[in-house]
Structure 1
Amino acid sequence: MVSSPALWLIWALTSTTFASADFVSDLSGKGFQVLVPGSSGYANASTAFNLRFTFQPAAIVYPNNAQDVSTAMKIGAHYNHQVVARSGGHSYIANGLGGKNGLLVVDMSNFKTVSVDSSTNVATIGPGNRLGDVALALNNKGRALPHGTCPYVGIGGHSGYGGYGFTSRKWGLTLDTIQSLDVVLANGTIVTASNSKYPDLFWGLRGSSSSFGIVTAIHAKTFAAPASSTVFQYNWDLSASSAASAINAFQTFVVSPSLPQEFGAELVLGAGSSKGRVSFGLTGGWYAPANQFAAVIAPLLAALPKPASQKLTVGTYINSVQYLGGLGRLSTIGIPDSHDTFYAKSLMTPEGSPMSNASNLAFMNYLANQGFGTNTDWFVEIELYGGTNSAINNVASTATAFANRNSMFTIQFYTSAKGGVPPFPSEGFTLLDGMVNSIINNNPANWGYGAYANYIDDRLTNWQTLYYGGNYPRLQKLKDQYDPLDTLNFPTAIQE
């Protein structure tokens, strides 16, 4: 009878898609964990967050420090295995597993440092941390970062491609806070990139991180945690026409000269109580004294029907982060992540050319009718990026690789298989395509919309332009400079 270790070695030897015995041997014995097909723990480690995807990496390694990452990178390149980094593993299309079979996955989950320099308030954050754990660690020092709400999202990918949260109108995207990055290049060289050292690389890492290296430490400016926060939630059940009018009112409200940066919000849309109606919600955070909020929100509420329900939750900043995270806790330590089977799309709408009345009506009619009684669960989130004095849009489109700096909204369209388990029905793709097209087709032909790379879409044919705009040619030149052998490769990696 063949022993288990021998079984996986035979598997590796006989599978041309995956790894040679020499490759496995060279990775082994280097002081870090290595999983290959057939070894204990591999099946779980190679399971995607989105169960619509099943990929089998050639190997998954768990380095402990930058030198380990360098060693793995060099071995992968030597054996012509493309390499990809995995932080939290929440890529919508499983890019953290390579987005295809046969890659070497460098899992960064051992990089869990979170510290704050008391003299500069710059935090050093390991890319293996999840957002919930980062928020807790920083809050213990009285500090905070702009970031998303889901506690299980990895800070590495989140900060590498954007990083939006309800404090982003005041503090910017997560990537805007980054002062420098420790990174292992495709050839295994370990460098620190900043505005003064490797500035071109630093530019590319902030918006398209995984194409140029594997980040081992993020050095980010932090902010004093607000003394008070107010989470607000308003809900309506509206006809399609009333919902369209509500979106128009929200677009008008957010460009008011009196709208403070401390106001962050999103519209949350879903199936209504009956066909022809839309569930319409307004959720967000107010990061200033609670007694000032009523005056800020009053003009918007005056333009909308009376809410069916409303709730204001006042507390500390970290209370708001936990509340908006939806789990009742922020710590992810020792608690397994969940899975879903889903498809998502995104649309970043230009602030200079807001969604037209016709597009809002067409969109709401689509949700109210085609979206009612579907065989998938779905929601739409219209996230407020722009508006008066938005810190996101106060950054030039060429300042970082993240190009979409003129957006009013980033809209996420998301649909899951019933119960979140496979298979994913083909009707789900049609449903979301129709949502997006109802907006695009009812705005000007040259409408300058974009898309958001953290809501990555494997069916988006013109992603280079929609994600990166005019920055893509510069990114291609950087790719040729820093990864000429295309070692760091996945379906939406920058192409030379």
Structure 2
Amino acid sequence: MRLLTTLSLLATAGAFVAGSTVARADLKGSLRALHINASFPGDASYASASSAFNLRFTFKPAAVTYPKSPQEVSEIVKIGAAQKLTVVARSGGHSYIANGLGGKDGALVVDLQNLNQVSVDSSRGTAVIESGNRLGDIILALGIGGHASFGGFGFTSRQWGLTLDTITAVNTVLANGTVARVTNQNDPDLFWGLRGSASSFGITTSIEVTTFAAPPSATIFQYAWDLNVTAAANGIAAFQSFVQTNIPPHFGGEINLVRGPTAGTVTFTLLGGWYAPVDGLNATLAPFMRQMPRAPRTTVQTGTYLDSAVVLAGGSLDTKSKPDGHDTFYAKSLMTPEGSPISHGAIVAFVTYLAKQGFASKTEWFVQLELYGGKNSAINAVAPDATAFAHRSSTFTIQFYASAPGKVPPYPSYGFTFMNDMVKTLTDHSPKNWDYGAYANYIDDKLVDWKQRYYGAHYARLRSLKDKYDPQDLFTFPTAIEE
């Protein structure tokens, strides 16, 4: 059996001010004439259809459409272009800043939930995954579209690469309505850009990927400690050093940090996956574990690869078994350069902040240090310019995430200050030229230098592609590549 890899123009003033009723009537008529299902302002379904995952955002799209084929996607794109609307794709709908709603009022949303087929060719070791699939249909509960477009990390990524590294073809609808199958052979430049910033260039209807043989067994492990500042800082430093030793590619993991039980402490958890016979796990972890106190809370679960997915999902992989949840939050990210590790001073300042200000904060926060690099990482083995994903020499992707009290609006202003100051404890205690990046699937609507942090030197090439394939900026959202 083979399994998949691991599986991220507002209407013109005339149209939406004086002529808003006419424009929307034309839009509704055009879509209905083609029998394309859609939800419009005033419809009973509209509030739910236009609801963002992050309730900090309350945008009002011109319509939310539900195409059933790439051809219907093409017709929607043509209608949007004719009416000078922004057109955006929504796969799982979990964009941190509601980019799947256009990031502003008046967008034409292409919701891909009906494009939800997966076909596997076991003889060739390939699969075709339509963009409406949730990762639960593949692995977890997010949408495959954004996940694969901007990276796609999981605990098997050090062994198999990011999701976008497995893509061999992208089936997309371009700004002129063309339905195209894009490969490295027929359009290497666009294929490059689609693997790192796909939603700026088209509506991806499906991806074709390489599959891998399921490992003989899979183990999900978790070790948790409640630590003071010194012990937690030493733990992060020890893990950073440990991953530069000869750890195998089938080891994946992350450090999770949350509020500790008392002021001056944090709860420190090592969570990871081991995709090989379990008898090698303890020997691999031993150099790190010897530098830590005995873990008071330990869970090690071994089974099949599918069993491991169920464990990480927290239960059923059935994405239709429960409705989508919502949150009200602000998130940031930081990708640490492998050639310039986090200094011990920065680690101490960071953990001190979590243990003191973090303990006192009214937000519900967590921090994840996801292991991208280290020895034998397939992520970093890919050439820096092979795809539009710009960060092929990172050790960690750090996600900083804080929810409003009760996870409901409004989001408090102190939450933004808390998060920005948290990240600054790392950047302010690092070299002035510290060349860190940021991860586009943990998108930050307040990041000023986002072009550099998300795309680095690749942004100039991406902008040239935008000029060629979408010169009218049809596919636009706050962090889209700009023509």
Q: How high is the TM-score relative to the length of structure 1?
A: 0.93
Given that 2:115 and 2:132 are in contact with CA atoms closer than 8 Å, whether structure 1 keeps it comes out as yes
Please state if 1:230 is matched with 2:234.
no
Match of 1:355 in 2: 342
Query: Per-residue deviation at 1:70?
Result: 0.6
Partner of 1:315: 303
Equivalent residues of 2:16, 2:106 under 8 A apart: no
Distance 1:345 1:434 in 2: 11
> Which one of the candidate residues 450, 457, 468 is aligned to 1:481?
468
- After superposition, give the CA deviation of every residue in 1:294-350 in whole Å (9 maximum; x if it has no partner): 111111100112212111111111111111112x11111253111111110000000
Q: Which amino acid aligns with 1:241?
A: T
Amino acid at match of 1:50: N
How far the C-alpha of 1:120 sits from its partner, in A, is 1.0
Shift of 1:214: 0.5
Please name the residue that 1:299 is paired with.
Answer: 287
Q: Which residue of 2 is the match for residue 462 of structure 1?
A: 449
Letter in structure 1 aligned against 2:130: G
Map of 1:60 onto structure 2: 64
- 1:432-447 maps to which residues of 2 (within 5 A)? 432-447=419-434
Contact 2:141 2:313 in 1 (8 A): no
CA distance in 2, matches of 1:434, 1:325: 31
Contact 1:19 1:59 in 2 (8 A): no
Shift of 1:121: 1.3
2:262 pairs with 252, 267, 274, which one? 274
Letter aligned with residue 134 of structure 2? R
Choose from 172, 191, 196 the match for 1:207: 196
Letter in 2 for 1:315: G
Matches of 1:395 and 1:354, distance apart in 2 = 20
Distance 1:486 1:382 in 2: 35
Alignment equivalent of 1:260, drawn from 245, 248, 258: 248
In the TM superposition, what whole-angstrom CA distance separates every residue of 1:52-96 from its partner, at most 9, and x where no partner exists?
Answer: 110000011111111101100000000100100000000000000
1:193–1:239: structure 2 CA closer, same or farther, 3 Å change rule?
same
Structure 1 residue aligned with 2:112? 108
Instruction: Give me the whole-angstrom Cα distance separating, in 2, the residues matched to 1:236 and 1:34.
Output: 50
Q: Which residue of structure 2 aligns with residue 382 of structure 1?
A: 369
1:37 matched to 2:41: yes
**Which of 170, 183, 199 lines up with 1:194 in the alignment?**
183
User: Partners of 2:29 and 2:321 in 1: how far apart?
Assistant: 31
What one-letter code is carried by the residue in structure 2 that aligns with 1:247?
I
State the partner residue of 2:408.
421
Amino acid of the structure 1 residue aligned with 2:40: V
Range that drifts further, 40-49 or 23-32: 23-32
Q: Distance in 2 between matches of 1:72 and 1:449?
A: 39
Is the 8 Å Cα contact of residues 103 and 478 (structure 2) preserved in structure 1? yes
1:289 lines up with 2:277 in the alignment: yes
Name which of 120, 134, 138 aligns with 2:138. 134
What is residue 143 of structure 2 aligned with on the other side? Answer: 154
Are 1:174 and 2:163 matched, yes or no? yes
The alpha carbon displacement at 1:361 in A equals 0.3
Q: Could you tell me whether the CA contact under 8 Å between 1:277 and 1:368 is conserved in 2?
A: yes
Amino acid at match of 2:440: A
Identical aligned residues as a percent:
57
**Paired AA for residue 345 in structure 2:** A
What count of residue pairs does the alignment treat as equivalent? 469
**Whole-angstrom distance in 2 between the partners of 1:86 and 1:480:** 23
Structure 1: which amino acid aligns with 2:168? Q
Write out per-residue CA displacement over residues 171-199 of structure 1, whole angstroms, 9 at most, x where no aligned residue. Answer: 00010010001110011011111110111
Report the residue type matching 2:446 in the other structure: R
CA distance in 1, matches of 2:430, 2:243: 20
Structure 2, unaligned stretches of length 5 or more? 1-14
Q: Return the alpha-carbon distance in structure 2 between the equivalents of residues 38 and 18 of structure 1.
A: 15
CA contact (8 A) 1:13 1:20 kept: no
Q: Say which SS state the counterpart of residue 91 (structure 1) adopts.
A: coil
Counterpart CA distance in 1 for 2:16 and 2:482 is 29
In the alignment, the residues of structure 1 paired with residue 87 and residue 322 of structure 2 have an alpha-carbon distance, to the nearest angstrom, of: 28
Whole-angstrom distance in 2 between the partners of 1:250 and 1:15: 60
Q: Aligned pair in 2 of structure 1 residues 13, 53: CA closer, same or farther (>3 Å)?
A: closer
- The amino acid that maps onto 1:27 is L
Q: Secondary structure at the match of 1:453?
A: coil
Please list the CA deviations of residues 108-156 of structure 1 after superposition, one character each: whole Å capped at 9, or x if unmatched.
Answer: 0000110111221110000000001123xxxxxxxxxxxxxxx221001
Q: CA deviation at 1:15?
A: 6.7
Q: For residue 82 of structure 2, what is the aligned residue in structure 1?
A: 78
Q: Does 1:118 align with 2:122?
A: yes
Alpha-carbon distance in 2 for matches of 1:334, 1:245: 42
2:9 is matched with none
Question: For 2:436, which of 449, 453, 456 is the aligned residue?
Answer: 449
d(CA) in 2 for partners of 1:473, 1:405: 18
Distance 2:23 2:245 in 1: 58
**Structure 2 residue matching 1:353: 3-state secondary structure:** coil
Output the amino acid matched with 1:21: A
**Aligned counterparts of 1:13 and 1:269: Cα–Cα separation in 2:** 48
- For residue 153 of structure 2, what is the aligned residue in structure 1? 164
Are the aligned partners of 2:31 and 2:37 in contact in 1 as well (CA < 8 Å)?
A: no
Cα shift at 1:427 = 1.1
User: RMSD value over aligned CA atoms?
Assistant: 1.4
Displacement after TM superposition at 1:230 (Å): 0.9
Give the counterpart letter for 1:295 in structure 2.
A
